[in-house]
Structures are given as structure tokens and as C-alpha cells.
Amino acid sequence: MKIRKTPAEHGPFHTAITIIASVIALAGIGLGVWFLIIYSNYEETNDAQVDQYVTPVATRITGYVQQVRYEENQFVHRGDTLIVIDNREYRAHWGMATAEISNARHHVSAARKNAASTQSHVAVGQAQLDAARTLVWKTKLEYERYEALLHEEAATEQQVEQVRADYESAQAHYEEVNRNIRASELATSEALAQVPVAESMMEVRNAAADNAALYLSYTVITAPYDGWVGRKTIQPGQLVKEGQTLVSVVSREKWITANFKETQIADMTVGQPVTFKADASHGRTFNGRIESFSPASGARFSILPPDNSTGNFVKIEQRIPVRIALTDPGSQTAFLRAGMNVTVTAAHQH
């Protein structure tokens, strides 16, 4: 004998099932509508991070740290002194270089005076040469006159010989003065040639002093721009070597780097507004603006970029880095730090 259940016996159960099924169906319809509205008109990626410039500050010289003038995570201004290296050795080098400048300056002065002195010798020699030329002319005339008198027997042989000796002596003196002038001219040329050499050495000493002063300035390490210093790993007395990174400075400037898939950027343009949410903001929405698109995919900037011609090809969807500027006031985004994860949403630009 069959026992049939009356509607009153199974009514509440069927009602509950019907309500649950209806809710699920409505939720599915709502999700479908939301998907069509959102995903058909917007692009979204959670492969995005906050970026800032992180500049490693390195030493250009080797030496012992004398002072460390910053605290970890401290905000610094451009030009603020961060680290001072013991400068005694470099100051001594600079002192020796400046002393060499003084020595070179004296050499230049001596070379110029020597050149002027030899030039004056040439001038004196020219005056002596004129006097010697006059004497030669005078003794020659005297010699010719006595020879004429000798033919007329108005002068003796002894007188003629004496006059001839005077004439020959005057000629010898003229040649001697002429040779001295040529020697003085050669000495003058040599002295004048030494002046630019001394001046070149002066320039070399100046350059050496400038170089020593430059190395002396390297003993004071300053902040390259306004920002925050990172971890403090240097202590006074520590030996640092040339090229060693001492501290990193994080810039005040911030932006978002969103790595959209290559299939997502077709309907995005430079200058369009976007929104983003930071994982640390508990769902709060911030505003930004697309500044630029990377000229190549992120993989192309890696140390070992892919080369699909060298082996088996596996197609992988590439991502294009997109730089997004923050447009909200700085007070609202001050909590953002480099490396924080964000989710970026961009509307299609038709």
C-alpha cells in the first residue's frame, strides 16, 4: 500500500530549495551582467607596483669612514652630507700639488726673464756692431791714405804697417761682434722656446692641483637629491673601497608601473585617467594618468632576453610596462612605498 505525501508535508523543503535556486540564478545573472559591463569596457591588472628611484650612493675613493651623518630611513635634502671619509692623505696630496704650482710659477718667471735678458744682449751687440763697422770704415780710409802717402814717399813703411794692423784689428773686432750677435740670437731663440715649456708645466701643475682638490672633495659624500636614505650599514672606522655602495637614497617622486598584457593595451592611450587600489589601502581607490608605454616588452629588458629562433617555440603572452603618474594630492599617497602591489583599472578609449 503506497503512502502519498500531501503538499503540506513537503512544502517547506521545496520552498527553501526554490528560494536558494532563485538566489543562485539571480547571482549568476548579476555576475554575467557585471562581467559584460566591466570586462567589456575596462582593462585590469594586478601585476603592478609602486615605483620610485632607488639610487645607490657609492664612494669614489678608498679610505676610512670618519663620520656617518644620517639615521636609517631619514629624509634628506639634496647636498646634505651623508658620510665623511678621513681626508688627511688627500689633503696632503692637495698641499703638495699647490706647492708644485708655486714652483712652476717661479720657473715661468725665470724663463721669461732669461728670454728678456738674452734679447737685450742682442740689442747691445747690434750697437757694438755699428761701432765696429764705423771703426773698420775709419781704419780702412786711414790705411788707404797712408798707402798713397807711401807711394809719394811722404810716409814710412813702419807707419803704413801700423795703420794696416789697426785696420785688420778693426775687421777682426767686427767679425767677433758679429759672431757674438749670432750667438746671442741663438740663445734668445732657445730662451724664448723655454717659456712655453715652463708655461705648459704650469698648466700641468694646475691640472694636478685641480685633480687633488677633486679627490679631496670626494671625502665628503652628499645626497644626490631629496629623498629617504635606506638601511644604515656603514659605521665610523670602517674601511671602504672605491666603487663600494655605502647607502641607497629613495626619491620623493613616485609612479605606478602596470604590466598589462599585450592584448589589453589596444584600447589604452597616453594621457587617459586610470584608477588603482593598493593592497595596503583596504580597498580605497586612487587616481592616476597614463604617462607612457614601454617601447618593448618587459622580457626584452631582462638580462637574458628570449630568442625564439634558437630552439622550440612556446608562445607566451607578453606584458608591456605602462608608466602611470599619481594625480591625487601627495598627502593621500604619502603611505605608498616602492614595491607595494596595486591593482590598476583602465577604461577603454574608443
Query: Is the same domain home to 271 and 150?
Result: no
Residues 117 and 207 in one domain: yes
Contact 81, 69 (CB under 8 A): yes
309 in any annotated domain: yes
Range of the domain at 265: 44-86+230-347
The residue length of the chain stands at: 350
On whether both 102 and 182 belong to a single domain, the answer is: yes
How many whole angstroms separate alpha carbon 264 and alpha carbon 44?
8
| 223, part of any domain | no
Q: Answer whether residue 29 is part of any domain.
A: no
Q: So what's the pLDDT on residue 126? A: 73
Does residue 12 lie in a domain region?
A: no
Q: State residue 50's pLDDT score.
A: 95
Which of 217, 244, 259 is the last residue before a domain boundary? Answer: 217
How many domains, the chain?
2
- CATH number, domain at 324? 2.40.30.170
Q: Are residues 65 and 122 in the same domain?
A: no
The Cα angle at residue 214 between residues 217 and 54, in degrees rounded to 5: 60
Q: The whole model's pTM is what? A: 0.67
Q: Are residues 101 and 179 in the same domain?
A: yes
183 in the same domain as 242 = no
pLDDT of residue 25: 83
Same domain, 283 and 337: yes
Within-domain flag for 18: no
* Domain termination site, one of 183, 217, 251: 217
Please say whether the beta carbons of 280 and 335 come within 8 A.
Answer: yes
What is the per-residue pLDDT for 1? 46
- Indicate which CATH number applies to the domain containing 135: 1.10.287
Residues of the chain below pLDDT 50 = 1-3, 5, 8
Judge whether 9 lies within some domain. Answer: no
Same domain, 92 and 207: yes
Based on the fold, state whether residues 299 and 336 are members of the same structural domain.
yes
Grid coordinates representing 47? 601585476
In this structure, the dihedral spanned by the alpha carbons of residues 90, 91, 95 and 101, taken in order and rounded to 10 degrees, is 60
- Domain membership flag for residue 80: yes
134 and 52 part of one domain: no
Q: Which of 151, 184, 217 is the last residue of a domain?
A: 217
Residue 23 domain-assigned?
no
Do 140 and 60 lie in one domain? The reply is: no
Question: pLDDT, tens digit, for every residue of 59-76?
Answer: 999 999 999 999 999 999
